Chains A and B, each alone.
Chain A
Amino acid sequence: MSLLGSLSLWLALLVGLWGAITGFVGGAQQRPDLQQSARNATFALFGALLVAVISLELAIFRHDFSLQYVAGRTSRNLPTFYLWSALYSGQEGSLLFWAAVLSLFGALTQLFTSRRHRAYLPYVAAITSLVATFFVSVMLFAPANPFQHAAFTPLDGSGMNPQLQNPGMVFHPPMLYLGYISITIPFAFAMAALLTKKLDADWLVAVRKWTIVSWLFLSIGLLIGMWWAYVELGWGGYWAWDPVENAALLPWLVMTAFLHSVMVQEKRGMLKKWNLALVLGAWLLSIFGTFLTRSGVIASVHSFTQSPVGWFFLGFLLVAVVACAIVYINRLPLLEAEANLESVVSREASFLFNNLLLIGLAFSVLWGTLYPIISEWVQGVKVTYGPPTFNYVNIPLGLVLLLLTGIGPLIAWRRASTANLRRQFAVPVTVGVFALLILLLAGVRELGGLLAFSIGAFVFGTVFQEFARGARARHRQYGESTGFAVLQLLSRNRRRYGGYIVHIAIVLLFVGFAGMAFKTETEATLRPGESAQLKGSDGHLYTFTHLGISQYNALNRQVTAALLDVRRDGKDIGRLRTEKRQHVDALGNPTFEPSTEVGIMSGLRVDLYVVLAGLVNGTEQAVFRFTINPLVWWVWFGGFVLVIGGLIVLWPGGVVVAVKGSKGSTVQAGYAVKLEAER
């Protein structure tokens, strides 16, 4: 299997290089034979990498510990569920997974891109092949070859890191990778548009679905990662501003900016330069993030950081930045706007400010991530730019962004009159102020929480108003019931109303984030029968009674479990269980340090979060940490709503209004109507 896998990687390298060369030359010289060869190369590349992936998975499932990768990340008693995820649980496997998925996306693009956009495809094939080839070359030359043989074959492998043995870790990396990887497709189309000089709205139409796919996968990846950190790591939160987390957030912010500004180009023919820069920037940031997280230049708890492959990514990034800059600057004269901005108080301007904040936030996150290095360079002093600093700098920016989430949809395209603004803002502002007053009357004095909740209420008001007006208009016009009219709105204009659902999700997420400002926690040592009490921010008193310790063996671990009885204001509400796990290999030898399984009782108002610290003198007397985290449930629900909103936007179909593009081509334009004649 290892031989087949290695051969497949070498074959992929050659085929990828061939695809890149024939794609670029075939595109430049307009040679159909080379173009067809480049297209075929994308399929062959996918085939070769698929064989490599299957070879590695087979080696993992057969416990072929002659391979370093398999011996270092699995053991004979590892549950089957995690044997699958062992494919991407380490550096080498994740690079293979990345290259294989990219080649799949490259092949799908060649298969499913409509005939109208055929002119871009040779360059798209060239760029996807080139990027995938780079990943293959990192595996072969870095070296990070998953088929590398070990010096000797152990009886059993070292096993998988216990923190990765969680369902969240089975789905988080592939989702995040899918998001990262799929950014390459919009990037490839953007570069193809620049190289072919076909810079009208056509390339945007070709990449629209891909950008949403990429954004959606990144969102899901980030959310599952947050969930995993919360339920597995045991520190009581879900976002610690770790460099690896930040690296995933950066392209997400830039893609979010693009998804907004692209509407301005589609409807008004403006921001062409900006949109291209955003797509190129998002992809470059994804490579930069990969460099950051795999080079070890910045300390991170993630295991990928200690390896030399990061420097390959730095080299690749520098070459890519130079290539992008040359092509982009060369084509700037072709990227003039087709229309002028008519008023500063317009939807177009509000989108620009929204973009400014999103990019500003991305810069802020990048700045904070790199600040320890910058400080060492500039002042020769190592500093820590920890979560308190990130929160201090970014929470105000996030709140302004949340406010703009509400303001944007209220302002009309082209020009908003005073009467229009009054009509649009009256209800949402009233809702926001009303929420603020209720919170003040309820005794809430925490500024961040007050702002987050009241601005959230304002944004919720804007979305509710949009749905209400749309439904009322349909009711008047077609006599539809309110519920059916809302469904029709969602069904017929998916981008717009799906987008509003996403805005609701953002509000829910902010509500959940704000809740963490009110968390309470304590530590206690309890014998069986003893209790600890903690008051939550919901005003209830929670009593945790230690019932006892049990020890038993499971498939690949020895478990020490503590059971606690939980009461709210004296009323029994259930039991919590928290564990210490000592993972062992098939021979019964310990494989890692003992790990903790958190006990969580999740509710709409608060989460009860208990960690078993350990035992005193080997007895059932145990040390616990109790935390009451308010509103965390709303983060996960917000994430769920965000995915639903994203899927509505993504779902094919709906009713579109077509207008002529700049050169006679037809483009989808939503509600866009060209009104030159009105002047």
Chain B
Amino acid sequence: MSDQLSRRGFFGLAAGAAGAVIQDTVRAGRVYDPQRAGRAQTPITSVDNDARIQAIEKKLRCSCGCGLDIYTCRTTDFQCTYSPGLHKDVLRLAGQGKTAQQILDEFVKQYGQVALMSPPRKGFNLAGYFLPGTAILVAAFFLLRTLRRWTREAAVPAPAALPPNATPEELERLRRELDRLPG
């Protein structure tokens, strides 16, 4: 096969390209005022939808102050000026063959631990994760002990307990009535 394009092939390609341009214009004509539609967008690529990239971005905080992760922020109203740049950084690092952890480490190196949506589970941060649960467990333990003490105290018969101010028949009737109550 010749490397050079035949005349017929050239015209074929040219016609195809012209057709594509015309088709583009027809199917995606210009709007009246592009300024109204927010920031101009670039077409989505397959890496933008890459689950691995999204998973990494969901662990990294956007620095715009919204409190959201990079993925959520850049896809919320697409007006953030920070998250698209951070997204490009993630893509660049992933393109260099870095693993997810290495990308997270790079962000921490550049922005500090605040770049992570969750603090690393080590050192004092363990308190951040486990203090509430531990506090509840400890409180539950003491509550149980207190309840047991109270029940023991309640079990001791009152020394000068008054006799019931009701006949046995009345008490039995009361029990039956109570049993009939739901719950």
Which residues of A are interface residues toward B (Cβ below 8 A)?
A: 233-236, 240, 242, 299-301, 340-344, 349, 352-353, 356-357, 360, 363-364, 367-368, 371-372, 374-375, 378-379, 381-389, 392-394, 396-397, 409, 412, 466, 469-470, 473, 477, 496, 521-525, 527-529, 549, 551, 558-560, 580, 582, 593-596, 611-623, 625, 671, 673, 675, 677-679
Contacts and interface: CB of A to CB of B under 8 A. Distances in A.
Given A349-B147, A356-B136, A618-B34, A625 B75 contact: yes
Interface in B84-133: 112-119, 123-125, 128-129, 131-133
B61 A620 contact: no
Interface residues of B, number: 78
A300 B133 CA distance: 25
Contacts, number: 249
26 contacts: A235-B73, A300-B67, A301-B65, A341-B150, A344-B147, A367-B132, A378-B124, A379-B123, A383-B114, A384-B115, A386-B67, A389-B117, A389-B119, A393-B132, A470-B182, A523-B48, A549-B31, A549-B37, A594-B36, A594-B38, A596-B38, A596-B78, A611-B78, A616-B42, A620-B27, A623-B42
B182 A340 contact: no
A342 B152 CA distance: 8
A522 B49 contact: yes
A518 to B, nearest CB: 15
Given A611-B78, A613-B78, A615-B41, A382 B112 contact: yes
Contact of B31 (A367, A383, A551): A551
B183 interface: yes
A212 B27 CA distance: 58
Interface of B: 24, 27-44, 48-49, 58-59, 61, 65-69, 72-73, 75-79, 112-119, 123-125, 128-129, 131-133, 135-136, 139-140, 143-144, 147-148, 150-151, 153-155, 157-158, 161, 164-166, 171, 174, 178, 180-183
Given A342-B151, A343-B151, A551-B36, A240 B117 contact: no
Q: Find the residue from A233, A394, A615 having the highest chain B CB count within 10 A.
A: A615
B118 A356 contact: no
Given A233-B76, A473-B180, A594-B37, A383 B133 contact: no
Q: Which applies to chain A's interface (DSSP): helix, strand, loop or mixed?
A: mixed
A383 B128 contact: yes
Contacts of A677: 164-166, 171
A89 B84 CA distance: 30
B179 to A, nearest CB: 10
Contacts of B76: 233-236, 596, 611
Given A349-B147, A384-B61, A677-B164, A595 B77 contact: yes
Contacts of A383: 113-114, 116, 119, 125, 128
Contact of B28 (A340, A364, A620): A620
B125 A386 contact: no
B164 A356 contact: no
B164 A360 contact: no
A393 B33 contact: no
Given A353-B140, A551-B31, A678-B164, A580 B38 contact: yes
